[in-house]
Amino acid sequence: MRPFKLVLSLLGAFGLFGGAEAFTNPVRNPGGSDPQVTYSGGYYYLISTTWDNLQLRRATTIQGLKSATPRVIYSDTNPSRRCNMWAPEMHYFDGRWYIYYTAGNCNNLDGQRMHALVGGATPWDSWSYGRQMLNEWGIDGTVVRFADWGNYFVYSCQTGVQYQSTCVRKLGSDYISTTGGLSIISQPDQPWERSGTPVQEGANALYFGGRTYIAYSANYCWTPDYCVATLEWNGTGNPASPSSWTKSNGCVLSSANGHYGTGHNSFFMSPDGTETWITFHATSNPNGACDDSRYALVQPLRANQNGTPNFGIAQGPSYNWPEPSD
Ligand X SMILES: *[C@@H]1O[C@H](CO)[C@@H](O)[C@H](O)[C@H]1NC(C)=O
Q: Quote the least distance from Cβ 234 to ligand X, whole Å.
A: 4
Binding mask 12-51 for ligand X (x = CB under 6 A): ----------------------------------------
Nearer to ligand X, 53 or 238 (CB): 238
The closest residue (CB) to ligand X is: 237
Q: Work out the number of other CB atoms within 10 angstroms of the CB of residue 106.
A: 11
Query: Rounded distance, CA 50 to CA 24, Å?
Result: 22
First to last CA, the chain: 7
Nearer to ligand X, 238 or 310 (CB): 238
Nearer to ligand X, 139 or 185 (CB): 185
Nearer to ligand X, 33 or 165 (CB): 165
For residue 178, give the 3-state DSSP assignment.
strand
Q: Using the rule CB under 6 A, which residue among 77, 236, 305, 318 binds ligand X?
A: 236
Contacts of 128 (CB under 8 A, 6+ apart): 117, 118
Q: Using the rule CB under 6 A, which residue among 234, 246, 257, 287 binds ligand X?
A: 234
Beta strands (DSSP E) in 48-112 are 54-59, 71-74, 83-93, 96-104
Side-chain-facing half-sphere of 238: CA atoms under 13 Å: 9
Q: Which of 21, 34, 140, 323 is catalytic?
A: 34
Q: Is 235 in the site for ligand X (CB under 6 A)?
A: yes
Q: Is 243 in the site for ligand X (CB under 6 A)?
A: yes
- Cis peptide bond upstream of 317, omega within 30: no
Q: Using the rule CB under 6 A, which residue among 18, 41, 237, 316 binds ligand X?
A: 237
Side-chain-facing half-sphere of 55: CA atoms under 13 Å: 18
Q: Is 34 a catalytic residue?
A: yes
Q: Is 246 in the site for ligand X (CB under 6 A)?
A: no
Q: Which of 85, 61, 60, 81 is nearest to 72 (CA)?
A: 85
Q: Using the rule CB under 6 A, which residue among 241, 246, 249, 287 binds ligand X?
A: 241
Query: Rounded distance, CA 74 to CA 53, Å?
Result: 6
Q: Which of 249, 214, 217, 204 is nearest to 234 (CA)?
A: 214
Q: Is 183 in the site for ligand X (CB under 6 A)?
A: no
Nearer to ligand X, 135 or 241 (CB): 241
Q: Quote the least distance from Cβ 146 to ligand X, whole Å.
A: 12
Q: Quote the least distance from Cβ 242 to ligand X, whole Å.
A: 8
Query: Rounded distance, CA 134 to CA 156, Å?
Result: 12
Question: Hey, what's the torsion of the CAs at 89, 93, 98, 104, to 10 degrees?
Answer: -70
Nearer to ligand X, 175 or 245 (CB): 245
Q: Is 244 in the site for ligand X (CB under 6 A)?
A: yes
- Tell me which stretch binds ligand X (CB under 6 A): 97-105, 149-157, 229-237, 269-277: 229-237
Q: Which of 21, 193, 201, 225 is catalytic?
A: 201
List the catalytic residues.
34, 201
Given the rule CB under 6 A, which residues bind ligand X? Answer: 234-238, 241, 243-244
